[in-house]
Each structure stands twice: as C-alpha cells, then as structure tokens.
Structure 1
Amino acid sequence: MSTTAHPARLSTASNNFETDFKARLHWSAETDAGIEQRVADILRDVQQRGDAAVLDYTARFDGLQTTAMTELELTQTELKVAFDGLPAVQRVALQAAAARVRSYHEAQRKASGESWSYRDEDGTLLGQKVTPLDRVGIYVPGGKAAYPSSVLMNAIPAHVAGVAEIIMVVPTPKGEKNMLVLAAAYVAGVTRAFTVGGAQAVAALAYGTETIPKVDKITGPGNAYVAAAKRRVFGTVGIDMIAGPSEILVLADGSTPPDWVAMDLFSQAEHDELAQSILLCPDAAYIDQVQASINRLLPEMPRREIIAKSLTDRGALILTRRMEEACDISNRIAPEHLEVSSRDPHRWEPLLKHAGAIFLGAYTSESLGDYCAGPNHVLPTSGTARFSSPLGVYDFQKRSSLIEVSEAGAQTLGQIASTLAHGEGLQAHARAAEMRLKF
C-alpha cells in the first residue's frame, strides 16, 4: 500500500474552487441499506428475547462463547484490579486526565446547570428545576482500538451531573479485555459494566434485558452498526449524536513549525480512512513546507497506510487570499476540531462561529483536547457544529419548568389565557382559567 499522501491542493483564487471545495467536503451520512436491515433485526430480537439474544450475538460477532450473562458483567473489584495493575505512569496519567475532565465539567454544571426561580410583583413564581437523568448507558468502542479516554469523557460529565447509575458496555473480541479501559471505568465512577458491543448492546440498553438495565440515554461513539442502532432507538431513549468520521481543520498564518501542523493533520487522519484533515492558509510557501513535512514524516508513522488514504482521498491544503477569508471558509465547514495556529489566535477567534472545539495557539494541539485538557472530546461532526454542541453536563440533565400562580396573578393571566383559548376554539382551556377569576 502507498506510504505517500497527496492532499488536494486548492486555491480560493481558482475559478473551480467552489466545485472542487464542495466535492472534497462531501460525505454521505446515509447508512447502507443492508446494515439498516441487520440492525433492525438485531434490535427486534434483543427486545423480544433479552439476554438470550445478547449472548447469541456476542458469541457470533465477538467470538465470546458463554451461556451466562454474569460472565459478561465486569465487577467493581475487576475494574479496581485493572487500575491497580497498570504501570504507575499510566495510573498517574489516567487520574490526572480524569481530574481535569471532572474540574471542567464541575465548572460547566455551576455555570449553567442550576435550578432557579423568581417571583412577579403579584407573587407568581416562575422558574426552572434542573434534575439529572436516573440512568445512562455509555458505549465504548473496543474493536480495532480501545479508547479509555472515551470512558472518561462520557462517564465523568454524567457523574458530575448527578446521574445515579452509569452503565458501560464495551465489546471484548475473543474475550480480550483492555486493562486501561477497565481502569478508566473505575476512575470515572462507572456503576456497572458489561463486555457486550455492537447493535445488540445498544438494544439491551434501550429496551433492557433480564440482566442489563434499561437506560434513559445512550452516549458514546461506535461503528456503522452502533450508529444505525442509536438512530433507530432514539425516541425510546435519548442519544447524544450520530457521529461521522473525525475531522480537523488547521487555520494557520505560517508561523507554526510545519512539522507540528503536519502531525496535527495526521492525528485525525490516523483514526480512519474517511477522516478529514484540512489546512487553510494564506501563505503558499508555507503550504509547500507542510506538504514536505507530510512526505518526510509519514513513513515513520505506524498507521501510515490509513493516514495516506485519508489525506489523499479527503484531505486538502487550501490557499486563501487572507486569514479573514480562511475564517469564513472555516465557518462554512463547521469542523469538529479547529486549530487556530497563529501568532495571535485571539485576533481570529471572534470571527469563528462554528466548530465543535477551538484550539487556540501553536502549542494547543488537538490531541491534548482528546485526552486531558478538560473539555469534552465528544464533538459534533459533518458540519453539525452549526447547530450542535459538545457532550457536556447538560446532556445528562433535564429541565422542568416551575410555575406557581398566585391568586392575584390568576386574575391577570386568566383573562389573557381565556381570550386566547376562545380564539383557538378550546373552550375547556378557557373555562379552566375563567373559574379562577373573581368577577
């Protein structure tokens, strides 16, 4: 396979830029019809047969043969043993990352997650009551790669929000358990954990089985089967989002060492052949330097084939007329990760409206946000940052409106409601308000 990468070279000054730009951005989120049908069958089967179906699919897809669901549940003791068995440097790193993620989400909860109320002059109370979800499920990928960071990013904000039960599911193909994932579950405060994955795990969380409890919301990334299952169970439970391939956009003024930028582009490209890495820069000579860095550094990368295909098929190095134009294009893309790699990133940040996370300055590599900076790494993809937000404490809370109308308030509000209800032809609504009026 190729160990060279050739991202598309585009220029906003070209007459063909719009056509080439749109072609490079295009990615279809539509699920294969065959996957949709298989997922529908799995969901139906788990809903009907519960544990028995989960055991069958776990044996079929993960090669994990067992006749008892108890063998698929990880005990708290097993999670702690996994943590205690890690090398000291990993234990320290895991705890440090968890502390930063927890600190950030505690600040988030204080800023926007508190109940509030006030009273009108007539004594009517209006407000909002914020309460946590009772039980959530977090899906942690466990196939080609293991992601302990995903455990932290999903479980910790749920814990901070006050969720009473956090149920983790993670596939363990052939029974191979990743100790760092189990240790992360211990550090993050996961309540129960099961070695189950795929659409069957999503179905078990959504509908409940004899062993796996039904949850209120499912969060966490997965493959096409997991994404299709989450889409189908939405409404029965809440979900965080339907994630597409990972993305990074680097907005550069040419002041950052080109090797740094090349490696930042690699950091997303190594996830998946469909991942997208884009550089926007007004300096043509600097773009040449970044391409040279790509050529020199790529052969050193263990996942070079994946990186090469991702950059060649979906990557782009785009020459802009000026940094302001680069900011405009960035807003059109609305990337998952946006690095502002410039001498004065705060000059450009006010111009940037749409991104999952914005990384300011040359020293702020996206990878720090993935693991330990503190903000959540579960981010909107495929342009959905135009209307979506990162996973946070607010995703594990719900809001109830508080209304307490005083006797005096009912005299004013009752007349308004009566008039509007009659206008809508809803006489019972009107009468209910009128009965409280003092004529």
Structure 2
Amino acid sequence: MKISGYSGTEDLGALVKRPLHEALELEGKVQKVLDTVREKGDEALIDFTRKFDGVELDSLKYLQSEVKDYTNRVSAELREALQKAYNNIFTFHHSQKSDSQKIETMPGVFCWREDRAIEKVGLYIPGGTAPLVSTVLMLGVPARVAGCEEVVLCTPPDKGGKINPAILYAAELCGINNIYSVGGAQAIAGMAFGTESIPKVDKIFGPGNQYVTCAKMLVQRSGIAIDMPAGPSEVLVWCDDGANPSFVASDLLAQAEHGVDSQVMVVCESRHFATQIQEAVELQLSSLPRKEIAREVLKNSRIIIANAENAIEVINEYAPEHLIIQRKNLSQGINDIVNVGSVFLGPFTPESAGDYASGTNHTLPTNGYARTYSGVSLDSFVKKVTFQEISRSGLEGLEKVISPMAEAEELEAHKRAVLIRLGKVFE
C-alpha cells in the first residue's frame, strides 16, 4: 500500500482515485451479451455459460427435488449459523416497516401513504471466485418481509455445473423457489428481458463484478429498475495512533480478498502508524488462501496521513461503501460524514459483522455512489403510494388555492375540474 499525506492542499481527487476500467469497451462487450440474450433467450444463456464459466448445462432452473438433495449436504453448524443470521437480518428489516399515518393538511383534506410490494424481483448472487451465501439472506429476507409475490434468484454454477449447497439452503430459508444456475451479465439480461425459463422481473438487486454492474446500468435504460450501482467492494478505515494495527490490517484484507477489482483505503494520523499497518498487512497476508487476489488489490490501495478535519474531507470525497472508525473519540466529526454506505464503530465492530449477521444490509453503493444512493433496505422492495380523500367542504377550501394557481399556469381544465364539483358557473 502506498503512503501519502493530505494537509488540505494536495490533489485530493488523485489521492482517492479508484482503479479505472475502459468504460466504453466494457459497455460494448456487455451490450452484445444483453442483445444476444434478448434475441435468443435460454439458448444464449446456455452458450454464454459454456463460454464464460466453462460449464455445459442441460437446463437452467433448479427443481425442488434437486434443491432438497443439495441442501441436505449443508453441515449442521452452517445451518445454525445461517438461521441465526436470518433471524438478525429479519429483525432489523422488519423494524423498518412503518404504519400508514393519515394527515389532515387542512380541514376536510386527508392525505396518507401506504407501502405496496414490488411484485417481481430478481436477485443476483455472486458465485464466481467466492459464493456469496450471505447475499441470499441480505436480499431474500427484505423481499420476504416486503411481501414480493415472485422472487427470482440467479447465481453462476461451479465447475461441476452445480450451485453451492449453502446458497440453496439460504434460498430455502427465504422461501425462494425460482432458482437458476446462470451468472454474469447474461443473468442480468435473463431477468431483465425474460427467457423461456427465467421470468421477466420489475427490479434487479445484487452486487457483482464490473460486468454485472455494467449490465445493471444498461438494462436500467430499458426501463428495468435496479437497486443501485453495486460493483467491486471497498472499505476505508479511519483510525488514530491508539488503534490496533492488526485489527486495521484484518479489515483491509477482509475486503481485499473479494476480488482484484476491489480497493481498500486507510486514513491515519502518523507515518509511524501507517508503517505498522503495512507490517501487519504483510504478516497476515502471507497465510491467506486468497493472498494473490488480496496482493493485487493492495497495489491500487493507499494509506493517507491526515488530521481529523482533513480526514473527514477525504472520507466525504471518497464516499466509501464501508467506513470503519477505530478511534478513541468515535463521535468526533461523525455528523460531518455525509457520503458513506455503512459505518462500523469501534475496535470490536469488524466489517465482517455487517457482511454476515449483525442485521444491517451489506448490499451497498460503491464507486462513489454513496454520495447519492442508500444501501438496500426494506424500502428498496416496496413502492410508496400516496392517497388522498377530500370532503366537499375541504374542496371548497382548496378551491381558493387551486383556481389562482391553475390560472397562473394557464390550465383552465384543472380549474374547471374543481368548480364543476362545487356547482359553480364558469365562462
């Protein structure tokens, strides 16, 4: 990891720059995949799975008998862990339900809002270099709490052409029956446009690599809603010299092992502590099974030395997906941090807790989108529908507001729609 200083005068944009990909070239490749799937359906999905995953599939959908057969292979220990994680995630997302509140904005004028579940949702579960079992719960639980009628799950097959049994078990916990062994941009296309096997959905959820993220952005132009641009994972750790460098290093490597296009960042107070972090990273890295992936990530990562005021500026400019704060004064500047996906406070709050089981959702905006997007929540799976009911006396009161405004906009029919109901004569 490179060490840099920031005192408020350096080029901050350069310091927090993320690894770049050739966007136009990427879009061109992904668009070809989308167009082919739209045209050829299942045939294209099977062909792309053979080409990209090296797997020959006879069918895409998992039958319930197959699901049962594979979920029986999940160990009792993992079953118990997934059940506990499910409970925590369910509890947190169920708490986000809100009661409808009818408001009388003026006498006789009542307005309120109600939730309506999105009917058909598609969940993308990464399964390439690492099968993200936790993502099934993070997306499947709020979909269930919201009451979505149809939930479609797509995930890439392993080299044997099968889906990881733990993914199937987590899907079973969430009551998901429509499970398909297809991944990458082609899976996004299948859910967006529909094929002979995969139903067309109204909104697509889930993180993924640059191809999956690009596909989600492109299908959005076709009128398919997406949760957010959730691409390669990232973390920023803000710490002082009193933090434990081993803790900091462990959080960096936890993110770095996701994939080579991830990024990890640190903001600390001194070069001495930055060096301690580097040493701790090297020590832990040597024994990691995915050390080669993590090492590639570290090449594009940075430690920035800055005081508290400048650190907040760095954080807001970078807008990290995950922000871990390991400082003696956890509340210092916290209200000034506005661009972040999810925050982890204190030495015993690793980002791994949020990834798996504390209850918050781990599907979060990346690549700076935390400036404008929130992470997935119950609200992501519902629509907010407004209602209003007005009495005659209420409309009489509103007429004095509506008529002059309609006249100002030169929309006479709007005015008449009120006057006719009140029995008033108009020219």
Per the normalisation by structure 1, the TM-score is 0.90
C-alpha displacement at 1:121, in angstroms?
Answer: 5.2
What residue in structure 1 maps to residue 373 of structure 2?
388
What residue in structure 1 maps to residue 394 of structure 2?
409
208 and 27 in structure 1: CA distance in 2 versus 1, 3 angstrom threshold: same
Q: Does 1:23 align with 2:14?
A: yes
What residue in structure 2 maps to residue 141 of structure 1?
126
Give the Cα separation in 2 of the matches to 1:328 and 1:22.
11
**Contact in 1 for aligned 2:157/2:182 (Cα 8 Å):** yes
**Worse overlay, 114-123 or 389-398:** 114-123
58 and 308 in structure 1: CA distance in 2 versus 1, 3 angstrom threshold: closer
231 and 397 in structure 1: CA distance in 2 versus 1, 3 angstrom threshold: same
C-alpha displacement at 1:349, in angstroms?
Answer: 2.8
**Contact in 2 for aligned 1:415/1:434 (Cα 8 Å):** no
C-alpha displacement at 1:261, in angstroms?
Answer: 0.8
Among 214, 218, 222, the alignment partner of 2:204 is 218
Pairs within 5 Å for 1:116-127: 116-120=101-105, 122-127=107-112
Give per-residue Cα distances to partners, 1:294-318, cap 9 Å, x unaligned.
23222222222222222222x2212
SS at 1:345 equivalent: coil
Give the Cα separation in 2 of the matches to 1:243 and 1:237.
16
Letter in 2 for 1:336: E
251 and 170 in structure 1: CA distance in 2 versus 1, 3 angstrom threshold: same
Give the Cα separation in 1 of the matches to 2:62 and 2:227.
24
What residue in structure 1 maps to residue 350 of structure 2?
365
C-alpha displacement at 1:430, in angstroms?
Answer: 2.2
116 and 29 in structure 1: CA distance in 2 versus 1, 3 angstrom threshold: farther
Among 70, 88, 105, the alignment partner of 1:100 is 88
Q: Does 1:159 align with 2:144?
A: yes
**Worse overlay, 33-42 or 408-417:** 33-42
SS at 1:72 equivalent: coil
Q: Does 1:273 align with 2:260?
A: yes
Q: Give % identity.
A: 37
What residue in structure 1 maps to residue 24 of structure 2?
33
Give the Cα separation in 2 of the matches to 1:55 and 1:278.
39
C-alpha displacement at 1:198, in angstroms?
Answer: 2.3
Give per-residue Cα distances to partners, 1:225-246, cap 9 Å, x unaligned.
3222211211522101122322
Letter in 1 for 2:50: A
What residue in structure 2 maps to residue 185 of structure 1?
171
What residue in structure 2 maps to residue 206 of structure 1?
192
Q: Does 1:55 align with 2:46?
A: yes
SS at 2:96 equivalent: helix
Give per-residue Cα distances to partners, 1:158-198, cap 9 Å, x unaligned.
11111122110111144032111111111222131011222
**Contact in 1 for aligned 2:341/2:370 (Cα 8 Å):** yes
Query: How many residue pairs end up in the alignment?
Result: 422
**Contact in 1 for aligned 2:234/2:264 (Cα 8 Å):** yes
What residue in structure 1 maps to residue 56 of structure 2?
65
Letter in 1 for 2:88: R
**Contact in 2 for aligned 1:415/1:433 (Cα 8 Å):** no
Give the Cα separation in 2 of the matches to 1:31 and 1:424.
47
Letter in 2 for 1:319: I
**Contact in 1 for aligned 2:16/2:317 (Cα 8 Å):** no
Give the Cα separation in 2 of the matches to 1:102 and 1:79.
23
**Contact in 1 for aligned 2:209/2:231 (Cα 8 Å):** no
Give per-residue Cα distances to partners, 1:334-386, cap 9 Å, x unaligned.
21111111233234433322211110100101111111111000111122212
SS at 1:300 equivalent: coil
Q: Does 1:87 align with 2:75?
A: yes
SS at 2:264 equivalent: strand
Deviation beyond 4 Å, 4+ runs, structure 1: 28-31
What residue in structure 1 maps to residue 4 of structure 2?
10
C-alpha displacement at 1:28, in angstroms?
Answer: 6.6
**Contact in 2 for aligned 1:247/1:275 (Cα 8 Å):** yes
C-alpha displacement at 1:13, in angstroms?
Answer: 3.8
RMSD: 2.2
SS at 1:218 equivalent: strand
SS at 1:376 equivalent: coil
Pairs within 5 Å for 1:242-257: 242-257=229-244
Give the Cα separation in 2 of the matches to 1:190 and 1:141.
16
43 and 285 in structure 1: CA distance in 2 versus 1, 3 angstrom threshold: closer
Letter in 2 for 1:8: K
SS at 1:212 equivalent: coil
Greater per-residue helix proportion: 1
Among 290, 293, 296, the alignment partner of 1:306 is 293
**Contact in 2 for aligned 1:83/1:91 (Cα 8 Å):** no
Letter in 2 for 1:229: A
Letter in 1 for 2:250: M
Give the Cα separation in 2 of the matches to 1:400 and 1:97.
31
C-alpha displacement at 1:438, in angstroms?
Answer: 4.3
SS at 1:74 equivalent: coil
**Worse overlay, 32-41 or 275-284:** 32-41
SS at 2:331 equivalent: helix
Give per-residue Cα distances to partners, 1:69-107, cap 9 Å, x unaligned.
xx3211334334333321111111111111111111111
Give the Cα separation in 1 of the matches to 2:69 and 2:91.
25
Q: Does 1:291 align with 2:291?
A: no
**Contact in 2 for aligned 1:346/1:360 (Cα 8 Å):** no
Give per-residue Cα distances to partners, 1:107-144, cap 9 Å, x unaligned.
122xxx43332235532221112111111000111222
Give the Cα separation in 2 of the matches to 1:343 and 1:274.
32
Give the Cα separation in 2 of the matches to 1:13 and 1:391.
35
C-alpha displacement at 1:206, in angstroms?
Answer: 1.4
403 and 217 in structure 1: CA distance in 2 versus 1, 3 angstrom threshold: same
Give the Cα separation in 1 of the matches to 2:101 and 2:367.
35
